[in-house]
Chains A and B, each alone.
Chain A
Amino acid sequence: MHGRVKVKSTAQQEEEKRKEREKKLKIYVAARDACFSKRKEGIWDEGALQITQQLLSSNPDFGTLWNYRREILMHLETVKDEDEVQKIYEAELSFLESCLKVNPKSYGSWHHRDWVSTRLPRPDWARELSLCDRCLSLDDRNFHCWDYRRMVVKMSGVPVDQELAFTDRLIGSNFSNYSSWHYRSTLLPLLHPESPELPSPPRSSLPPSPQTHSHRVCEEQLLKEYELVQNAFFTDPNDQSAWFYYRWLLGRAEREEMISCVFVSREEERVSVAFSRPVNAQSVGLLLVLDGLPQRVEWRSVHPRFKHSPVWICDLPPGTVSDITNEHNLTVHWMEKHTHRDCALYTGRTESWCRDSATDQELFRSELSVEKTSVLQSELQSCNQLQELEPLNKWCLLTIVLLMRALDPLGYEKETLAHFQTLKEVDSTRSAYYSDLCSKFMIENTILKMEYAEVRVFSISDKNLTTLCHLDQLLLVTHINLSSNQLQRLPPQFAALQCLEVLEADNNSIENLEGVYHLPKLEEVLLKNNKISSLADLQPLASCLKLKRLDLRGNPVTRVANVESELAELLPSVSDLLL
């Protein structure tokens, strides 16, 4: 029950209401039972139509009665001529119209209209479309009606540009209309695909969703859309609809599907493979070829929690690459995507890799795009103008942050941090969201800096990090410094750091080490002043066989009875333990 205000009433009023309800109940039950028994007897006549009509007009969610009506209508189709059938169905449509007037959000009524419309001998789609127009003019957010409209449009072949013009009209009369903006997001890519001369092959019989690569919009149309959205948010800067739509417009194309990195280590006789998205290597057809010979290997994700993971590992058959005087050539094939990556392991080298780095792929030109810098620059200018007028508008601030990232993530780092600070203050309800997003951007910047410096050290201390992400990008990192942040855990994704030797994470709030799992080279773990409270929390470290040095000072676990001897048993390789 929705939106029914509780009203106080006197005892006398209550008694009157009770009597009235009793009366209504009797009538209702009699009608219902009459329906059920007619149906049981297989009666499909006008009388049954009448009695179900009476019930459904007050209770349109009574689905079984619509079913009964459909049975009757289908029966009448077989005994009446086409004109009569047409008339019966038209009567049904006007009955439905009266139901929808009373209850415009009944699933049952809308579905029945759908059903009737597709059975009508001579459908009048123009009338249906104008019904939608009227209904949406009463409530422009009624999603049942929008869905019905989409059905009508599809059945009657209404041109896409006509529908786009319809959203123009609705948005023109009221910018705050999320449903219309949504509809535009589905229409634009049909009308103005990104590269019309190269239609991407449909993945399936289904229409692609606006989230997928093929559903981007060509640049000329994008510019027009930017203008429309700007009109909207300059008119009403607090209307979220336009801002959500704007963020989508600015979104970048999906990343190409590929093998982004192959790493091979002689000592561990192990190959690690990173993909551009999480995959299930056991089902995508992954083939490892070593010196021309396909290898029978078993792929496993970096953590047993993941059936889909961006990083997969396999052990080579013993002895195949261990002799340092031999040179080897590896190729990993991703059969499903017809792509592969080679990696050469030269004589005298203990390890080797081949990859496209984050900088190569322009991975963190944000979620924003490839669009021309000048366009983004002018968008940023407009937003900055708006921000001067509305300094505390969170939508505008967040959009500025996104635009800055698209333009120059490192150059705008200081402004970005300041804007995030303001966002957390003006929209404190969502401060955790802003903290996580800011953490993500800082991690991206640190990856970029690391790659420009061509080092394998990832250092991001004292940056108020609340979450870790992009860990699959850190496959080659040997030293990581996460000290003095606000991390609460090293999540399972952390197990992607297959080359990690030193982990520094002092002064956080870490209570969970799930991701420090089977890291074959890990020797040193510094966790001073965290919140590790039990030996069980340290269990994952037992899978890191080379661990020598462990600093747990300032953790609650140090106060556990017999902690030293328990740890000696749990982590026999550790020789340097600080408690």
Chain B
Amino acid sequence: MGTQVKDVIVKPDAPSTLLLDKHADYIAAYGSKKDDYEYTLSEYLRMSGIYWGLTVMDLMGQLPRMNRQEIIDFIKACQHECGGVSASIGHDPHLLYTLSAVQILCLYDNVDALDVDKVVEYIKGLQQEDGSFAGDKWGEIDTRFSFCAVATLALLGKMDSINVDKAVEFVLSCMNFDGGFGCRPGSESHAGQIYCCSGFLSLTGQLHQVNSDLLGWWLCERQLPSGGLNGRPEKLPDVCYSWWVLASLKIIGRIHWIDKAKLRSFILACQDEETGGFADRPGDMVDPFHTLFGVAGLSLLGDEQIKPVNPVLCMPEDVLQRIDLQPDLLS
């Protein structure tokens, strides 16, 4: 009897140093494979893909290698009449990609490339009577979208355009017995949603509503013997969950509750020495998503080769300083 702990084994020959140059080359080359089948299949999330790539490049001090003008023109072409932004041309607007677009434009210090007033109108229009946000006009409700809404508005300095009190009330109604948060009221806690909800409460100045000791306990219990963190009990570790758990712990002032050295070696082991980039777990295929969260995680762990990252918005701190945005963190 006894549960087998679900975990991976980090092999002794796994990478143990940070291969920044390889990662930069990997990301720089990624966008040039436009005729690739896999690349085309991921078109539905292109805007977020660009945000992942550019943010990790900026964190590594390599943003100038990306094609600024092409990207800005692309974003402009993705804004729709309603104000929302789509993942790519021909796709429908959605809050997920509206946030990504605004994040990218903040990196480039060029938010006016979008019609900002229309973006604000779009977001405002997606707030429901109970305070929640739909992801788009088709009405899917999720606390992720509450985060997207307030994060976008915070970056634009327009937080007061929605009913913040109602929005907070909804997010708090998704708090669970373990102190975590799920997608909707009654949904199970999940590290990704906890990140969104603690980030949301940070941006709305309501972090005191979090039961930090209880939630922090649940979060630090995500660390497995391999050093990696999972997103829910009894799940495998993953670089992206490592970021969501770590960032949440940072937001609620409990980052010291995990073993940082062990997590660092897990993240480093997820690098691909040949191609550059990070995978979800050691030995898997790399992608820009896990590459960003790997690098951002190492930044939160204090790696000085990388720019400091903001745990709430997953953007370089210097970018947020430029727009004078400092989300609350608990101490």
Nearest-neighbour CB distance to chain A for B153, whole angstroms, equals 18
Nearest-neighbour CB distance to chain B for A115, whole angstroms, equals 7
Q: Is A143 a contact of B283 with CB atoms below 8 Å?
A: no
Q: Given A1-B287, A185-B177, A211-B175: A206 and B188 within 8 A (CB)?
A: no
Specify which chain B residues have a CB less than 8 angstroms from the CB of A491 in the assembled complex. 331
Q: Is B187 a contact of A429 with CB atoms below 8 Å?
A: no
Q: Is A206 a contact of B130 with CB atoms below 8 Å?
A: yes
B window 259-292: CB within 8 A of A: 259, 262, 272, 279-281, 283-285, 287, 289-290
Q: Is A64 a contact of B234 with CB atoms below 8 Å?
A: no
Q: Is B170 a contact of A206 with CB atoms below 8 Å?
A: yes
A412 is an interface residue with CB less than 8 A from chain B: no
Specify which chain A residues have a CB less than 8 angstroms from the CB of B258 in the assembled complex. 429-430
Contact with B along A142-158 (1 / 0, CB 8 A): 01001100100000000
Complexed CA–CA distance, A430 and B45 (Å): 37
Q: Is A141 a contact of B256 with CB atoms below 8 Å?
A: no
Contact with B along A82-126 (1 / 0, CB 8 A): 000000000000000000000000010001001100000000000
Q: Is A5 a contact of B37 with CB atoms below 8 Å?
A: no
Q: Is A440 a contact of B138 with CB atoms below 8 Å?
A: no
Q: Is B130 a contact of A59 with CB atoms below 8 Å?
A: no
Nearest-neighbour CB distance to chain A for B165, whole angstroms, equals 10
A559 is an interface residue with CB less than 8 A from chain B: no
B1 is an interface residue with CB less than 8 A from chain A: yes
Q: Given A143-B183, A182-B189, A433-B220: A206 and B169 within 8 A (CB)?
A: yes
Complexed CA–CA distance, A430 and B138 (Å): 43
Q: Is B3 a contact of A143 with CB atoms below 8 Å?
A: no
Nearest-neighbour CB distance to chain A for B131, whole angstroms, equals 8
Contact of A143 among B188, B225, B254 (CB under 8 A): B188
Q: Is A64 a contact of B44 with CB atoms below 8 Å?
A: yes
Specify which chain A residues have a CB less than 8 angstroms from the CB of B208 in the assembled complex. 277-278, 308
Q: Pick the interface stretch among B62-70, B89-97, B119-127.
A: B89-97
Q: Pick the interface stretch among A23-31, A369-377, A543-551.
A: A23-31
Q: Is B233 a contact of A241 with CB atoms below 8 Å?
A: yes
Q: Pick the interface stretch among B110-118, B211-219, B300-308.
A: B211-219
Nearest-neighbour CB distance to chain A for B195, whole angstroms, equals 15
Contact with B along A174-198 (1 / 0, CB 8 A): 0010110011011000000000000
A window 439-484: CB within 8 A of B: 440
| Residue of B43, B206, B257, B283 with most chain A CB atoms under a 10 A cut-off | B257
Q: Is A433 a contact of B257 with CB atoms below 8 Å?
A: yes
Q: Is A5 a contact of B234 with CB atoms below 8 Å?
A: no
B178 is an interface residue with CB less than 8 A from chain A: yes
Q: Is B188 a contact of A146 with CB atoms below 8 Å?
A: yes
Query: Which partner residue on chain B sits nearest A249 by CB separation?
Result: B177
Specify which chain A residues have a CB less than 8 angstroms from the CB of B262 in the assembled complex. 429
Q: Is A210 a contact of B187 with CB atoms below 8 Å?
A: no
A window 17-67: CB within 8 A of B: 21-22, 24-25, 28-29, 36, 59, 61-64, 66-67
Nearest-neighbour CB distance to chain B for A500, whole angstroms, equals 20
Q: Given A29-B40, A429-B258: A3 and B284 within 8 A (CB)?
A: yes
Q: Given A59-B44, A176-B234, A236-B3: A182 and B257 within 8 A (CB)?
A: no
Complexed CA–CA distance, A501 and B283 (Å): 60
A226 is an interface residue with CB less than 8 A from chain B: no
Q: Is A240 a contact of B177 with CB atoms below 8 Å?
A: no
Contact with A along B125-152 (1 / 0, CB 8 A): 0000010000010111000000000000
Specify which chain A residues have a CB less than 8 angstroms from the CB of B138 in the assembled complex. 66-67, 70, 111, 115
Q: Is A107 a contact of B218 with CB atoms below 8 Å?
A: no
Specify which chain B residues have a CB less than 8 angstroms from the CB of A141 in the assembled complex. 232, 234-235
Q: Is A28 a contact of B40 with CB atoms below 8 Å?
A: yes
B184 is an interface residue with CB less than 8 A from chain A: yes
Complexed CA–CA distance, A171 and B39 (Å): 42
- B contact residues, range: 35 or more
Q: Is A147 a contact of B41 with CB atoms below 8 Å?
A: no
Contact of B188 among A6, A179, A237, A240 (CB under 8 A): A179
Q: Is B188 a contact of A178 with CB atoms below 8 Å?
A: yes
Contact of A147 among B184, B211, B213 (CB under 8 A): B184
B13 is an interface residue with CB less than 8 A from chain A: no
B173 is an interface residue with CB less than 8 A from chain A: yes
Contact of B91 among A64, A107, A143 (CB under 8 A): A64
| Residue of B176, B221, B233, B284 with most chain A CB atoms under a 10 A cut-off | B233
A315 is an interface residue with CB less than 8 A from chain B: no
Complexed CA–CA distance, A240 and B233 (Å): 7
Query: Which partner residue on chain B sits nearest A27 by CB separation?
Result: B37
B window 26-51: CB within 8 A of A: 35-38, 40-41, 43-45
Contact with A along B200-228 (1 / 0, CB 8 A): 00000110100101101110110101000
Contact with B along A412-444 (1 / 0, CB 8 A): 000000000000000011101100110010000
Complexed CA–CA distance, A41 and B277 (Å): 41
Query: Which partner residue on chain B sits nearest A144 by CB separation?
Result: B183
A248 is an interface residue with CB less than 8 A from chain B: yes
Nearest-neighbour CB distance to chain B for A76, whole angstroms, equals 17
A204 is an interface residue with CB less than 8 A from chain B: yes
B182 is an interface residue with CB less than 8 A from chain A: yes
Contact of A24 among B37, B172, B187 (CB under 8 A): B37
Q: Given A64-B90, A432-B257: A210 and B205 within 8 A (CB)?
A: no
B186 is an interface residue with CB less than 8 A from chain A: yes
Complexed CA–CA distance, A70 and B137 (Å): 12
Specify which chain A residues have a CB less than 8 angstroms from the CB of B235 in the assembled complex. 141
Specify which chain A residues have a CB less than 8 angstroms from the CB of B92 in the assembled complex. 63-64, 67
Nearest-neighbour CB distance to chain A for B31, whole angstroms, equals 17
Complexed CA–CA distance, A165 and B313 (Å): 42
Nearest-neighbour CB distance to chain B for A159, whole angstroms, equals 16
Q: Given A115-B139, A211-B175, A238-B2: A6 and B279 within 8 A (CB)?
A: yes
Contact with A along B55-66 (1 / 0, CB 8 A): 000000000000
Complexed CA–CA distance, A333 and B309 (Å): 43
Specify which chain B residues have a CB less than 8 angstroms from the CB of A21 in the assembled complex. 36-38
Specify which chain B residues have a CB less than 8 angstroms from the CB of A278 in the assembled complex. 208
Complexed CA–CA distance, A176 and B234 (Å): 8
Q: Is B188 a contact of A492 with CB atoms below 8 Å?
A: no
Complexed CA–CA distance, A208 and B175 (Å): 9
Q: Given A4-B284, A179-B188, A433-B216: A210 and B177 within 8 A (CB)?
A: yes
Complexed CA–CA distance, A261 and B92 (Å): 55
Query: Which partner residue on chain A sits nearest B144 by CB separation?
Result: A107
Query: Which partner residue on chain A sits nearest B238 by CB separation?
Result: A2
Given contacts A4-B285, A150-B187, 12 further A-B contacts (CB under 8 A): A1-B284, A61-B45, A67-B138, A141-B232, A143-B232, A176-B3, A206-B185, A211-B211, A237-B2, A238-B5, A429-B223, A433-B220
Q: List 7 A-B contacts (CB under 8 A).
A: A36-B90, A67-B138, A70-B138, A186-B186, A238-B3, A240-B233, A244-B177
Q: What residues of chain A have their CB less than 8 Å away from a CB belonging to chain B?
A: 1-6, 21-22, 24-25, 28-29, 36, 59, 61-64, 66-67, 70, 107, 111, 114-115, 141, 143, 146-147, 150, 176, 178-179, 182-183, 185-186, 204-211, 235-241, 244-245, 248, 277-278, 305, 307-308, 367, 428-430, 432-433, 436-437, 440, 491-492
* 4 closest residue pairs by CB, A with B: A185-B177, A206-B173, A21-B37, A248-B177
